Structure 1
Amino acid sequence: MTNKNQVAIIQKDITDDVNKSLTRLQDDGLQLPVNYNASNALKSAFFKLREIKDKNGKPALEVCTRESVANSLLDMVVQGLSPAKTQCYFIVYGNQLQLNRSYFGTQAVLKRLMNVKDIWANVIFDGDVFDYEIDGGREKLLKHETKFQNRDNDILGAYAVVKTSDDEEILTVMTKKEIHAAWGQSKSKGQAVHNKFPQEMAKRTVINRAAKAFINTSDDSDLLVDAINRSTENEYENERKDVTPVEDAQQQIEQHANSEEIDFADDQKEESEQEIIDAPKEKTEHSKQAETQSQVQQESQQQTINDMPSW
């Protein structure tokens, strides 16, 4: 898979298979965003994939199984995400390719849900005035006052707000300790990205916490929900430490296979039939923040992977 002709053939074959599977899912009721172009998203994804390497410096398209590449791309288009908009990125885990969402991507996905009007997250800095209460069993934001100079202070926590179609605002709050505990479950060894971009990663963490609870109680298509959950949990470690990555990946495949499977012609299969792994993140107004998110993603791709996810 090292020359351009081989890569082009692989790209065409996988794209064809993803499009066939996507058509079946749409026949089953999956609806893509009105302005979403799956073909353009796939082209953008393959452009990114040619730049991605594993921890040993080998190209992703060389070391990853064709099935894992196709399944990651399928999850991408099911969620209506685009790498060109920094909404998602890919990481190599052993011989498996996995899809992760960015902060922008999670916001975009949540806005696709039927009863979500908007979602946002903010960081609470030392010196801020932050207050909330429990109203009817739910957390409710009362006040958050901050100053520009506080952004250089220590982070005390973060919160996310999901605004529903009936204008209800659902609050999720995480303390610094809770955020660090979530980072401790990340596959990124040493948490270099978290330490370098703590504000962005804190917002990403709390927005994922809010999304997880909200998505699993929504009435939207299970096809969409399954894809969202897989991408969310792809970046977190499995609590089991007594199995190797290869053994754990195989267990995930055998025990948690998804019902939708990418079909390959017999002469294209590199492995025996392998099903999709059922492994159980709004672009801001400033281009500088988008550039920061892109840097976060690029560094995330280079981190050493430890275990499979379960968070």
Structure 2
Amino acid sequence: MTVEQWYGTIKTGLTKKLTENKEALPAGFNQQRFILNCITVIQDMMKDDKKKAQLEKINPETIPVCLAKAAYLGLDFFNGECYAIPYGGNLSFQTDYKGEIKLCKRYSKNKIKDIFAKVVRQGDFFMEEVDGGKQNVQYRPKPFSNEQMIGAFAIVVFEDGSMMYDTMSSEDIENVRNTYSKAKDSQAWKSSTGEMYKKTVLRRLCKLIDLDFDNIEQQKAYEDGGDVVFNQQSLPGATTGQALLPENDKPVDAFAAIKAQKQAEPVIDGMILEEA
């Protein structure tokens, strides 16, 4: 099979896959642009000798199955919202941290005001506490620090004022990586460790968020996109709380208030503090 035939097999297979499952595609999906972006990403991967050797061992007819999962979720490989990772003789679909954020905001039943994850490094100030039944999180990172990562946390604030958060130590994350990861030695873990730390704790938090996908193909693609699979019934450390409400009972935009103050203060009643 020539190089042109190889690319042609992928393009034809992807077109067929998307056409067969067009009802699973999100509204406004641009099939032509998506296919073009996928081929461009594959071409870039072929420029890397290691990835090229791995791709050549994969049956090109199976590659569209991986690529189509991004289409169902409305994610773009070209924009770095997800990745196609050659590993163990297969091409695996994996969402990126940015993709996780996008999906949570799009499919959460409880509308999200903000959601993010942060890495905690040696020397950063991080504290979580429960005071009088109210949960507080305080985080003040050391500016421009490149110290050792000691953990990560993720927070979601909903428009109704409620919030949830989850924390994981570096030991917890590394244990998950070594025990449950689909590709613990992949390039993502080696070269983008911080992003994988954030994605791991965010993915665990997402198990507590009620996501309502439009169809079963999206649900399956989302589950396949995780580097690890968390059991929703066993989530040690995951916590929920209520964000501060003013007298009119409307949710406070905690992030806007904090940016306006431009100073480090303790988080109150579930508000989140992040000092740049």
Per-residue deviation at 1:45?
1.1
Q: Say whether 1:49 aligns with 2:51.
A: no
> What CA deviation, in whole Å up to 9, does each residue of 1:114-156 have, x standing for no partner?
434232011222232222235899x94421122305x232322
**Against the structure 1 CA distance between its residues 65 and 193, is the aligned structure 2 distance closer, same or farther, given a 3 Å change threshold?**
closer
State how 1:253-268 maps to structure 2 within 5 Å: none
**Against the structure 1 CA distance between its residues 163 and 41, is the aligned structure 2 distance closer, same or farther, given a 3 Å change threshold?**
farther
**Against the structure 1 CA distance between its residues 134 and 18, is the aligned structure 2 distance closer, same or farther, given a 3 Å change threshold?**
farther
Q: Say whether 1:21 aligns with 2:15.
A: no
State how 1:81-230 maps to structure 2 within 5 Å: 81-114=75-108, 115-117=110-112, 118-134=114-130, 140-148=135-143, 151-185=145-179, 186-188=181-183, 190=185, 193-194=188-189, 196-214=191-209, 217-221=210-214, 222-230=216-224
Instruction: Judge conservation of contact 2:10–2:60 (CA < 8 Å) in 1.
Output: no
3-state SS, counterpart of residue 151 of structure 2 = strand
**What percentage of residue pairs aligned between the two structures are identical?**
24
2:265 paired residue number: none
| Cα distance in 1 for residues equivalent to 2:207 and 2:155 | 13
What TM-score results when the alignment is normalised by the length of structure 1?
0.61
Per-residue deviation at 1:24?
3.6
| Cα distance in 2 for residues equivalent to 1:52 and 1:173 | 34
Aligned residues: 223
Per-residue deviation at 1:165?
3.6
**Against the structure 1 CA distance between its residues 169 and 70, is the aligned structure 2 distance closer, same or farther, given a 3 Å change threshold?**
same
Instruction: Judge conservation of contact 2:77–2:83 (CA < 8 Å) in 1.
Output: yes
Per-residue deviation at 1:171?
0.3
**Against the structure 1 CA distance between its residues 195 and 227, is the aligned structure 2 distance closer, same or farther, given a 3 Å change threshold?**
closer
> What CA deviation, in whole Å up to 9, does each residue of 1:149-190 have, x standing for no partner?
5x2323221101122242322101111211111222334465
Give the counterpart letter for 1:206 in structure 2.
Answer: V
3-state SS, counterpart of residue 81 of structure 1 = coil
Instruction: Judge conservation of contact 1:172–1:206 (CA < 8 Å) in 2.
Output: yes
Give the counterpart letter for 2:166 in structure 1.
Answer: T
3-state SS, counterpart of residue 227 of structure 1 = helix
Per-residue deviation at 1:19?
2.3
Q: If each structure's helix is expressed as a fraction of its own residues, which one has the higher value? A: 1
2:57 paired residue number: 63
| Cα distance in 1 for residues equivalent to 2:121 and 2:127 | 13
Backbone CA RMSD of aligned residues: 3.1
Give the counterpart letter for 1:161 in structure 2.
Answer: I
Structure number with larger C-alpha Rg: 2
Instruction: Judge conservation of contact 2:117–2:198 (CA < 8 Å) in 1.
Output: yes
Structure 2 portions without partners, runs of 5+: 230-276
| Cα distance in 2 for residues equivalent to 1:15 and 1:195 | 30
Moved over 6 A (4+): none
> What CA deviation, in whole Å up to 9, does each residue of 1:29-48 have, x standing for no partner?
xxx265x5343122111211
1:39 paired residue number: 32
3-state SS, counterpart of residue 184 of structure 1 = helix
Instruction: Judge conservation of contact 1:79–1:228 (CA < 8 Å) in 2.
Output: yes
**Against the structure 1 CA distance between its residues 67 and 123, is the aligned structure 2 distance closer, same or farther, given a 3 Å change threshold?**
same
**Against the structure 1 CA distance between its residues 11 and 74, is the aligned structure 2 distance closer, same or farther, given a 3 Å change threshold?**
same
| Cα distance in 2 for residues equivalent to 1:190 and 1:82 | 24
Instruction: Judge conservation of contact 2:67–2:84 (CA < 8 Å) in 1.
Output: no
3-state SS, counterpart of residue 161 of structure 2 = coil
| Cα distance in 2 for residues equivalent to 1:79 and 1:210 | 19
3-state SS, counterpart of residue 98 of structure 1 = strand
**Against the structure 1 CA distance between its residues 189 and 144, is the aligned structure 2 distance closer, same or farther, given a 3 Å change threshold?**
closer
Structure 1 portions without partners, runs of 5+: 27-31, 238-311
3-state SS, counterpart of residue 225 of structure 2 = helix
Per-residue deviation at 1:8?
4.8
| Cα distance in 2 for residues equivalent to 1:226 and 1:136 | 41
Instruction: Judge conservation of contact 2:125–2:140 (CA < 8 Å) in 1.
Output: yes
